[in-house]
Every structure is written in C-alpha cells, then in structure tokens.
C-alpha cells in the first residue's frame, strides 16, 4: 500500500534526524513552539489517525514513538541541554539512563532461581513475595532460612546482604 | 456489523453510552435507568444476576454477591489493598494462580476479570436492547492511575464479555472529551474525578482539536466509598454505645450500615441534616422491635471526611507539579464522579484552584459519554478504512445538560427534587426521608436524592419514562436542552485522518485543519530545519473542527530491577503513549541461555516498593561466554497503557523469545478458554429486556 510505504520511508529517515528535525523546530525554539510542533506531528502521525488500516497503524506507531522521544527530551530544560551537548558531538539520540562507559548491568535473577534445593526455593519464593509486598523484614527471616539450607550458595548470601543494606536504608 | 459503545466500568455503577444520529447519550435499561450497579450475584438456580437485582441480594445472599471488584482487579494477593479487603467483605477472597486473587461463590472460584465480565455482559445486553442492534465493540474506561495489570485485567474482562476492546481509555480524559472545547483555541483543563473507589486528577492542554494530557496522578484506593465507610463506622459506634449491639462483628449487618451510610451521605449533599431510622437492625428485645435512629448534620459529615478530601489535593498538587502548572493557570476545572456531588468537594476545589469548577454534564455519566465519543471516532475511522462509504455521517454531538441544581447552591428546598423511580418499586429500606413528596414523581428534573431508604439509587435527568415494562423504549429520548457537541461539524469535512488508500503520500489532514506542514512522508530526505513560523497558527475560526485527537500518557514509571534492589526507570510517568524504550541485557554467566528480569511500575526509588508487574523471561539465547550474549529488549506502552515487550539478539539481530509472566494474570490461551466456557455456562438473568 502506498500509504504504508511512504510512512516506512519517513520512519527510516527519522534515524538520520535530530530531535529538532523530527519535530521541525528551530534549535532555539521556546517550549510553546515545541509543544505546538508536537501537536502538528501528532495530527499527522498519531496511530489513531490511521485506524482502519492496520499496517499503517503499526508504522505510524513507530513514527509517533520517535516523536514522543524527541518531545520529551526537548520539552524539559536539563534534558534538552544535555541533548544539545550530545548533538554537538554528532549524537542524534541520547539515552538518559545508560552511562555510555559502564558495562551493561548483570541480569537480575530471582531468588527462586538462585536457590538450588527445593527447601531453599520454598523460602526463597516466600522471601520474594514479601519483598514485592514491601515487607522487607519478614522477607529477611525467610531469606535467612533459605541461606541456612544452602550455606555455600554465595549468590543467595549476596542477596541477603543486599536485603540487610536495604533494611538499614529504610526510614525508622 | 454491530455497534460500538463506550462503557464506564465503575466501582459502584457501570454506564454505557453510544453515539447515534450525532448524539452521545447514555443507554438506559428497560426501565429508563442509566446506572447499572456493578454488582454480581450468583443465584442458586445457576443464573447470574447483575445490577439492581444483584444489589438487592447483597442483603439476603451476601456470600454469593460480589461487588467493589474494581478495587481489587489486577492486584496481587499480597498487596495491601487485598489484605485490607479480606475479611471486610461479606464474600470470600482466595489466593489465585500466579499470586492473583479469586472470589469463591457457590462452590466455584472466579477470577476478578470474570466477575467484571458479567457486569460488562449485562451492560452489553442492555445496550443492545436500547440500540436495537448487536454491540460487539467498546471503549472501556479505567481510572487514569491504573497500572498495567489493572488495565490488562480490564481488557480481559471486556474480551470475556464478547467485546472487542477498541481502547482502554482513562476516565478523566474521557470526561474532557465529553466536555469538548469551549470556544477558546487554547485551554488548560484540570479534571477532578472522585468516583466510588478511585480518585484521579488529570491536567490537559487543549489546543484546536488536540487534547494533550500533560500529567495525571491518582489514588486507586480513595473514593466516595471511603466516606461511606467513615459514616458506617460512626453508625456502628452509635449502635454499640446506645444499644450494646456490635455491628462490626457481623459483616452482613455492617454491609447494611454501609448502604445506610451511603444514603446519609447523599441526603446530606442536599440538606443540612438527616436521620436514618431502622427497626430491623438491632435484635428484638422481648419480642419488641427496637427502633434505631441515627442523626447526622452536614457539618458533621464534612468534618469527618475532611481528611479524605484533603488527600485529593495532595495528589492534585503532584499532578500540577508534574505538568509544571500552577493551580491558577488552569482555565477550566471539570468535576467528574458521583462523589463530587458532596458540596464540600466543589467548595474545596474552588479554594484550591481559585475558580469555581464546572459541572455541566452529569458527573455519573460524563465518562461513559466521552468513551462513546472515542468509540465512535475509532470505529468510524475503521469503517471508512474497510468499507469506504456507509454510515460515515456520525456527527459527534453530546448530551450537554446544565444541571438543574448547581452543587454549589444549596438553597433549593429538597421538595423540588422529585424522587424518580421510587414510586414504581417497593421501598426496601427503612424510613425514606420526607423528600419523597407525592407530586414529585411526575416532574422531570435532576434527582440527586436517593430512592427511598437504603437502595436503589436512581438518577434521572431526562423526562421520567413512565412506561409499561416491556413496551418498546422510545429510542432517542427527548432531552432537556441538548447542546450540539462542539465537534459536531466534524462530520462535514472530508474524513479526517486515515489517508485514502490510493493517495500517493500518506498522512494528510483535513484541509482546514492542516497545520502548515510539508507532506513530510513524501519528502523524507534530510532537510534543513525549517523555520517554524506558523503561517496560519490555527485554522479558520468558523470552519468545521476536525475530529479530536487524544494524546494520553502513562500514569506510572516503568522500571526494571537492577543490582542492589534499585529500579532502573525505563519509561517515566506522564510520557505520551504509545511510547517505547529499548534496553540491553547481558548474560552474567557462561553459556547462560535465559535471562530473567523483574518489571515494576511506580514512583518509588526502591524497586520492591513499587508494584511488581511480573517477570520477563528471555529464553533460547545462544550459549556464549558471559557478557557476550546481549539482548535488546524493547518495552512498549501501547495506546491502552498496556506493556508489550519484544527482544532481539544484538549480535544476530534475530528476535528472541520474550515472555512477560504477569502477576495474577492468565497468560495462556487455555486459561482464557476456560474462563470463556464458564461465562457461557452462566446465563445472565436479564430483567425484562425490551423487544
């Protein structure tokens, strides 16, 4: 479908554009202008504007998401300043949370997978649930039990240590 | 092809609405009532009662009559909300699979989406009767602050009810859509939505036809029900003190008190003092019934609920802060939700924002009306895409009724407000207030007074339908002053968004609305940044308005767990949706073939303090030394506010299996099929559906 193809070409072109170019605003555009530009962008590319044509909805969604990324960045002062510096170095996109030098974070494994024996797993599951419920102190009791089942499981011991640290951080 | 409706699936009541002949209107049941109580009762006969029939069974069959499900849907068994509800409700909650919650009734257990599905089925059936045609698609609203699990569970409920869910829409946004623009080109709107069980505040910018949500905040455990509870507690204290009768020990009696308390709250919205009288609450002494009277004044009620109402303004301040807006910058404040009828709420809202709020559409119906408009928009576009012609002329017109009684002005003697619908049915509760004036039932007017006694509560804005049950409903009911919906002209211009299939360049706007853009899709080549001097900042004033576009946001930050128990925020709260964010994960040990990541939503720094959504499993990774295998995971929040994930092996570029195991949610098709089968096994006991 012609519409879909044209959208795809446009989507591809976004990879070569700065946030300013995506929203079609000047580098010194004030916030109000950026907001108006995002509205214009949305009128063109919000997926709801394509309901009824599923393949276009899919491509428009991807385009819209890039617009959101640009808008969120440019509409907040500190982030925009950071972006301007990154752009000066030729970076078109910035990723705010990932420090570029740091190695990727190790995956987070659940306590259940860390525990090896069935008995330890039982305690681990309980501890996990209590942690999710915010009951760190109760979780500690369970995790201590799990560690007693597997005294040589270092990863489990590490997690208990992390829990102790978390408890110390708790107010009160 | 059936019709598309909007459904406000509320904690206390459910309302369906549809746009037809250019009018968005609530769909009444066979007796002209628009509010369907969100109550489901499993009858010994095997049928399921929903609505008023079920409401009455709350008193006689408490253990099998389920209500307030919305407070629990999508929550984990271990969550504080569920822990709090356990034992306080007269029906039984149990831990379900995957840490979820199920209710037990008549020897079976039901997940919460199944219970909501019964309510939606009833709403669907009533809508079909009112419209005279099948309904198979719906926009269903949720509190703006609902998280992914709550939204997904609501969507499941819709599917179980046999509906294609066109959109999960935020309630305040729906309300803003129902109100529409008010003539000004640029407006800043705050929607203050205090419902039965939830509070939401949403700040929007409306410019031209674009509704952009700037920020939203809420408390999913704060609503009018909490006021009822406070009053019920006072009643229980009174019973204990004056009759040495402990109502708290008996869930059924306490449930009854809550109904009387709700009654009290409603009465005190229109009068200064009210007395409830019951002669069947306190056990009889020596064969003599004991009459219990409980008196309360409005100042007493306001004093008791002050803390609750003030909590809403702390939340409101959060939303304003997130939007970077001062209370005084807000041009219009919309009151939504039945609990905003408490005069104190309007007063406090005025104090907070420095200007009186607006209540022009019935706060019980405005959300469903907005949802029906969004349904019509999404549906109309779709029909145009599929079949070029046929039925494209839906003018977006909404019922806009000035409320006869301004909640701010309380001078009206209650006698002026008739009780509609009470006379028709036996008054079940004790002592209706003196408001049940004889001549009243004949006169149409707004009725914010409850039906006599404890229940049921009927709000009638239109002329009271004095019809013989079973007679065909008068479809588009004659209305009180109907104002054209401001978008109404939207049907006249050429179809707004979807480009014609043949058009060589896709996105184009209705001519009048077109901002000055170049057809970007046609000329995607790298181009210098053009000067954004808006040639015609906004299109021609008298020209028809294009169809509205909603840009909503995700209410909660999405994060993954990192070492040390902290959360790494991927998508911040108040980011417009749909949006996405890609994150790379690496293996931690040699030849690791799967990675697990825990995902949560919430604003707290420590991961564990936020709401755990579930665990993301990446499987089938290529065995390699640790750290070598990297998987790029894209977390997407779609237009429904629901999370989707997909993963790609960075090195090979291949898609990797990624599965979200959501807390308490049925994931596989088998679970859903079983639930569908169970819906089919339970016929709804429909009360005299017309036609």
Dihedral of alpha carbons A163, A125, B569, B218, sign: negative
**pLDDT for residue B176 is more than 90:** yes
Q: Which residues of A touch B570 (CB under 8 A)?
A: 97
Q: Which residue has the tokens 């009290």?
A: B264
* CA pair distance A40, A37, nearest whole angstrom: 5
pLDDT tens column, B367-425: 999 999 999 888 865 554 433 222 222 223 333 344 334 333 333 333 333 333 333 33
**pLDDT for residue B453 is more than 60:** no
pTM: 0.75
Which of the residues A2, A3, A130, A162 would you substitute to probe the B interface, choosing the one with the greatest number of B C-beta atoms within 10 Å? A3
E strand or H helix at B103? strand B101-105
**Cα angle A83-A88-A92, degrees, rounded to a multiple of 5:** 55
What local confidence, expressed as pLDDT, does residue B182 receive? 78
Q: Which residues of A touch B588 (CB under 8 A)?
A: 106-107, 109
Q: Of A158-172, B396-410, B607-621, B666-680, which range is least confident?
A: B396-410
DSSP A92: S
* CA pair distance B566, A59, nearest whole angstrom: 34
Q: Is A102 on the interface with B (CB under 8 A)?
A: no
- Out of A43, A110, A130, closest to residue B515 by CB: A43
What local confidence, expressed as pLDDT, does residue B487 receive? 41
Q: What is residue B426's three-state secondary structure?
A: coil
Q: What is the DSSP string of A95-132?
A: -SSS-SSSPPPPPPPPHHHH--SHHHHHHHHHHHHHHH
Q: Which residues of A touch B509 (CB under 8 A)?
A: 43-44
- Out of A6, A37, A39, closest to residue B522 by CB: A6
What local confidence, expressed as pLDDT, does residue A150 receive? 86
Q: Is A78 on the interface with B (CB under 8 A)?
A: no
CA contacts within 13 A on the Cβ side of A19: 29
| Contact between chains at B501 and A17 (C-beta distance less than 8 A) | no
* CA pair distance B160, B114, nearest whole angstrom: 7
Res. B651 pLDDT band, cuts 50 70 90: confident
**pLDDT for residue B234 is more than 50:** yes
| Contact between chains at A165 and B504 (C-beta distance less than 8 A) | no
Q: Of B261-275, B449-463, B509-523, which range is least confident?
A: B449-463
Q: In which residue ranges of chain A is pLDDT below 70?
A: 1-2, 95-108, 165-172
Nearest CA in chain A to B611: A132
Q: What percent of chain B has pLDDT over 90?
A: 44
Cα B14 to its chain centre, rounded Å, is 9
Residue B118 and residue B41 in contact, taking contact as beta carbons nearer than 8 Å:
no
Q: Is A134 on the interface with B (CB under 8 A)?
A: yes
Q: Of A56-60, B15-19, B336-340, B384-388, which range is least confident?
A: B384-388
What local confidence, expressed as pLDDT, does residue B5 receive? 95
| Contact between chains at A169 and B606 (C-beta distance less than 8 A) | yes
B296-314 mean pLDDT: 95
Q: Of B92-96, B467-471, B547-551, B645-649, which range is least confident?
A: B467-471
Q: Which residue has the tokens 């990879």?
A: A15
What local confidence, expressed as pLDDT, does residue B660 receive? 79
Cα B461 to its chain centre, rounded Å, is 21
| Contact between chains at B568 and A113 (C-beta distance less than 8 A) | no
Which of the residues B506, B522, B539 would you substitute to probe the A interface, choosing the one with the greatest number of A C-beta atoms within 10 Å? B506
pLDDT tens column, B521-556: 333 343 444 444 333 333 333 344 567 899 999 999
């Amino acid at each position: 479908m012609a519409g879909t193809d044209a959208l795809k070409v446009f989507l591809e072109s976004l990879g070569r554009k700065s946030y300013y170019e995506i929203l079609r605003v000047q580098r010194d555009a004030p916030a109000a202008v950026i907001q108006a530009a995002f509205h214009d962008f949305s009128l063109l590319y919000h997926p709801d504007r394509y309901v009824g044509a599923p393949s276009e909805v899919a491509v428009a969604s991807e385009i819209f998401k890039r617009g959101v990324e640009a808008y969120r960045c440019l509409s907040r002062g500190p982030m925009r300043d950071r972006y301007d510096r990154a752009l000066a170095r030729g970076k078109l996109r910035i990723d705010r949370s990932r420090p570029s030098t740091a190695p990727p974070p190790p995956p987070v494994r659940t306590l259940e997978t860390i525990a090896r024996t069935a008995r330890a797993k039982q305690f681990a599951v309980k501890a996990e649930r209590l942690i999710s419920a915010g009951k760190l102190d109760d979780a500690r009791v369970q995790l201590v039990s799990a560690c007693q089942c597997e005294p040589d499981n270092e990863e489990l011991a590490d997690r208990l240590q992390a829990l102790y640290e978390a408890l110390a951080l708790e107010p009160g | 092809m059936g019709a598309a409706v909007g459904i406000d699936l509320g904690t206390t009541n459910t309302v369906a609405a549809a746009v037809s002949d250019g009018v968005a209107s609530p769909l009444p049941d066979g007796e002209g009532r628009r509010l369907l109580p969100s109550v489901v009762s499993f009858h010994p006969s095997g049928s399921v009662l929903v609505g008023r029939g079920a409401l009455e069974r709350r008193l006689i069959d408490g253990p099998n009559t389920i209500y307030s499900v919305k407070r629990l849907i999508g929550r984990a068994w271990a969550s504080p909300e569920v822990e709090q509800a356990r034992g306080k409700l007269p029906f039984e909650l149990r831990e379900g699979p995957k840490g979820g919650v199920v209710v037990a009734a008549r020897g079976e257990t039901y997940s919460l989406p199944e219970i909501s599905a019964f309510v939606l089925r009833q709403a669907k059936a009533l809508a079909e009767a009112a419209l005279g045609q099948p309904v198979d698609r719906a926009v269903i609203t949720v509190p703006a602050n609902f998280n992914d699990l709550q939204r997904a569970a609501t969507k499941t409920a819709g599917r179980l009810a046999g509906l294609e869910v066109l959109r999960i829409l935020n309630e305040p946004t729906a309300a803003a859509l129902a109100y529409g623009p008010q003539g000004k080109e640029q407006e800043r709107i705050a929607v203050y939505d205090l419902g039965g069980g939830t509070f939401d505040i949403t700040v929007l910018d409306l410019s031209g036809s674009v509704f952009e949500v700037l920020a939203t905040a809420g408390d999913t455990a704060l609503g009018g029900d909490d006021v009822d509870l406070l009053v019920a507690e006072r009643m229980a204290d009174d019973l204990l003190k004056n009759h040495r009768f402990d109502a708290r020990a008996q869930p059924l009696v306490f449930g009854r008190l809550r109904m009387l308390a709700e009654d009290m709250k409603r009465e005190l919205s229109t009068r200064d003092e009210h007395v409830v009288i019951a002669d069947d609450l306190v056990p009889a002494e020596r064969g003599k019934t004991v009459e219990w009277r409980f008196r309360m004044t409005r100042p007493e009620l306001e004093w008791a609920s002050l803390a609750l109402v003030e909590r809403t303004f702390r939340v409101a301040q959060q939303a304003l802060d997130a939007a970077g807006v001062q209370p005084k910058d807000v041009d219009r404040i919309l009151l939504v939700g039945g609990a905003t009828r408490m005069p104190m709420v309007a007063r406090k809202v005025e104090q907070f924002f420095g200007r009186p709020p607006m209540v022009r559409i019935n706060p019980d119906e405005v959300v469903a009306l907005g949802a029906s408009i969004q349904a019509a928009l999404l549906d109309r576009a779709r029909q145009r895409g599929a079949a070029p012609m046929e039925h494209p002329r839906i003018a977006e017109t909404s019922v806009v009724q000035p409320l006869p009684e301004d909640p701010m002005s309380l001078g009206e003697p209650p006698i002026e407000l008739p009780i509609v619908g009470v006379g028709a049915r036996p008054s079940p509760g004790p002592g209706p207030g003196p408001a049940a004036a004889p001549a009243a039932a004949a006169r149409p007017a707004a009725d914010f007074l409850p039906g006599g006694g404890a229940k049921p509560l009927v709000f009638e804005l239109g002329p009271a339908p004095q019809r013989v049950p079973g007679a065909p409903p008068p479809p588009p009911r004659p209305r009180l002053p109907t104002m054209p919906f401001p978008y109404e002209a939207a049907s006249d211009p050429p179809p707004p968004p979807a480009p014609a299939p043949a058009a060589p360049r896709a996105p184009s706007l209705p001519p009048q609305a077109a901002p000055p853009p170049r057809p970007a899709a046609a000329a995607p080549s790298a181009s210098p940044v053009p000067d954004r001097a808006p040639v015609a900042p906004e299109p021609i004033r008298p020209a028809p308005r294009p169809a509205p576009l909603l840009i909503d946001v995700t209410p909660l930050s999405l994060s993954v767990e990192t070492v040390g128990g902290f959360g790494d925020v991927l998508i911040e709260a108040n980011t417009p949706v749909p949006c996405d964010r890609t994150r790379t994960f690496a293996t931690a040990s040699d030849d690791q073939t799967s990675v697990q990541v825990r995902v949560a939503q919430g604003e707290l720094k420590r991961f564990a303090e936020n709401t755990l959504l579930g665990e993301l499993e990446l499987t089938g990774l290529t065995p390699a030394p640790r750290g070598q295998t990297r998987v790029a995971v894209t977390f997407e929040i779609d237009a429904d506010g629901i999370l989707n994930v997909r993963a790609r092996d960075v090195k090979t570029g291949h898609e990797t299996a990624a599965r979200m195991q959501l807390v308490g949610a049925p994931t596989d098709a088998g679970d859903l099929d079983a639930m569908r089968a169970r819906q089919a096994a339970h016929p709804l006991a429909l009360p005299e559906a017309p036609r």
